[in-house]
């Protein structure tokens, strides 16, 4: 059976390094087994080096990357630097970044560089235009996360029925669902919706809730 992907997107949380360590360690302890599941934590950049040192089956993702390897780009982070820290994945094109001005063309460049450097991109998208434009000219299959904007951080998850319809139209092997996922609705997106995993924001900041979701998904396998 294929692996499911459960990704914790911590966004700009938590406030201290101590809290980040505690959250990570609680998740690590709580997960009984990650067999058949790729558990990925995506903390703010500055916590990555520290969490990367923890011995664990949990993989790390960055929440963003830049599209150049190095140079005069103040404030940006190169995928090369992330690779060097042992980071395996990079979230690209999250709607909260798009809202700050990130375009499909920028996202396309980010995906290309990530693939070149063998950092695995996770492309977030909310519609088919974004899907087409962000992946223009890219034939390699990457992980996608369908995240309807009205569901992100709102407590209003997309109905499984609707999500399933969209999943069917995305002719792609690996598509995750994201948007107000919690332990009540998590299973249904995989069981009924046909998704290969979940991208979890708010609920991933609560170790108990996140661990519960991981363990539930493991059991349906």
Is 187 in a helix, a strand, or coil?
helix
Stretch that binds ligand PGA, among 19-27, 43-51, 112-120, 199-207 (CB under 6 A): 199-207
94 catalytic residue (yes or no): yes
Query: 14: which 2 tokens?
Result: 């938590």
**What distance separates the 2 farthest-apart alpha carbons in the chain?**
48
Sign of CA dihedral 166, 169, 171, 173: positive
Restricted to residues 176-195, the positions that interact with ligand PGA (CB under 6 A) are 178-181
Binding of residue 131 to ligand PGA (CB under 6 A):
no
Nearest distance from C-beta of residue 200 to ligand PGA, angstroms: 5
CA–centroid distance for 175 within its chain: 11
Q: List Cβ neighbours of 204 (8 Å cut-off, separation of 6 or more).
A: 7, 8, 9, 10, 41, 210
Binding of residue 202 to ligand PGA (CB under 6 A):
yes
Among positions 79, 93, 121, 201, the unique one binding ligand PGA when judged by CB under 6 A: 201
Query: 182: which 2 tokens?
Result: 């919690």
Query: 27: which 2 tokens?
Result: 């998740």
The active-site residue out of 19, 68, 76, 94 is 94
Among positions 6, 8, 9, 47, the unique one binding ligand PGA when judged by CB under 6 A: 9
Residue span 89-128 as binding mask against ligand PGA, x where in contact by CB under 6 A, dash where not: ----------------------------------------
Q: Which residue is nearest to ligand PGA (CB)?
A: 201
Binding of residue 152 to ligand PGA (CB under 6 A):
yes
- How far CA 85 is from CA of 50, 76, 105, 168, in Å, comes to 9, 16, 27, 36
Q: Which is nearer to ligand PGA, 28 or 94 (CB)?
A: 94
Q: How many residues bind ligand PGA (CB under 6 A)?
A: 13
| C-alpha to C-alpha distance for 140 and 145, rounded to whole angstroms | 16
Binding of residue 175 to ligand PGA (CB under 6 A):
no
Output the 3-class SS for 155-204.
CCCCCHHHHHHHHHHCCCCCEEEECCCCCCCHHHHHHCCCCCEEEECHHH
Counting beta carbons within 10 angstroms of the beta carbon of residue 75, is it exposed (0 to 12), middle (13 to 18) or buried (19 or more)? exposed
Is 130 in a helix, a strand, or coil?
helix
Q: Which is nearer to ligand PGA, 43 or 201 (CB)?
A: 201
Among positions 114, 199, 213, 217, the unique one binding ligand PGA when judged by CB under 6 A: 199
Q: Which is nearer to ligand PGA, 14 or 68 (CB)?
A: 14
Site residues (vs ligand PGA, CB under 6 A)? 9, 147, 152-153, 178-181, 199-203
Supply the residues annotated as catalytic: 94, 147
């Amino acid at each position: 059976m294929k692996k499911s992907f459960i990704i914790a997107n911590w966004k700009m949380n938590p406030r201290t390094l101590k809290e980040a360590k505690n959250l990570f360690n609680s998740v690590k302890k709580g997960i009984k087994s990650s067999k058949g599941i790729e558990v990925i934590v995506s903390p703010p950049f500055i916590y990555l080096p520290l969490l990367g040192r923890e011995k664990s089956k949990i993989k790390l993702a960055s929440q963003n990357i830049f599209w150049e390897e190095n140079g005069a780009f103040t404030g940006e982070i190169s995928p090369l630097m992330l690779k060097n820290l042992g980071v395996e994945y990079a979230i690209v094109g999250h709607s909260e970044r798009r809202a700050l001005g990130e375009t499909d063309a920028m996202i396309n460049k980010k995906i290309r560089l990530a693939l070149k450097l063998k950092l695995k991109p996770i492309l977030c998208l909310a519609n088919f235009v974004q899907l087409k434009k962000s992946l223009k000219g890219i034939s390699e299959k990457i992980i996608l996360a369908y995240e309807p904007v009205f569901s992100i951080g709102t407590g209003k998850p997309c109905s499984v029925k609707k999500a399933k319809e969209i999943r069917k139209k995305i002719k792609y092997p690996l598509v995750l669902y994201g948007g107000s996922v919690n332990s009540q609705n998590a299973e249904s997106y995989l069981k009924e919706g046909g998704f290969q995993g979940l991208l979890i924001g708010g609920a991933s900041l609560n170790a108990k809730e996140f661990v519960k979701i991981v363990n539930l998904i493991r059991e349906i396998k």
